[in-house]
Amino acid sequence: MATYEYRCRDCGRFEVRLPIGTASAVFDCPECRSPASRVFSSPYLSQVSPTTARARSREEQSREAPEVVTSVPAPRRRQPPHPALQRLPRP
């Protein structure tokens, strides 16, 4: 069974579980019975890490309202290497 997502113009999005490959382009909304079109979405987006979810949200927001940069960002400070790494032989 696969989960397919549909969007009703009146009620919004809803999911339907059907056998793989049997989903049609249009499905009746379970609430108002009007035809709803199929929406193609990535699987398991609700189960991603918070960091990935924030990155995806920021990327989606930048489509409509991109951030405006007025100056070149300052170079990052390099962190000193770990003391244990200093004892390793150098080539």
Q: CATH number for the domain including 38?
A: 2.20.28
**Is 62 inside any structural domain?**
no
**Is 48 inside any structural domain?**
no
Q: What is the pLDDT of residue 46?
A: 60
Q: Check whether 79 has a pLDDT greater than 90.
A: no
Q: What is the pLDDT of residue 45?
A: 58
Reported as a pLDDT band with limits 50, 70 and 90, residue 36 is very high
**Is 21 inside any structural domain?**
yes
**Is 16 inside any structural domain?**
yes
Reported as a pLDDT band with limits 50, 70 and 90, residue 90 is confident
**Is 29 inside any structural domain?**
yes
Helix, strand, coil abundance in the chain, percent, nearest 5: 25, 25, 50
- The tally of domains found in the chain comes to 1
By the 8 A CB rule, do 41 and 5 touch? yes
pTM: 0.48
What is the domain range of residue 27? Answer: 1-42
**Is 87 inside any structural domain?**
no
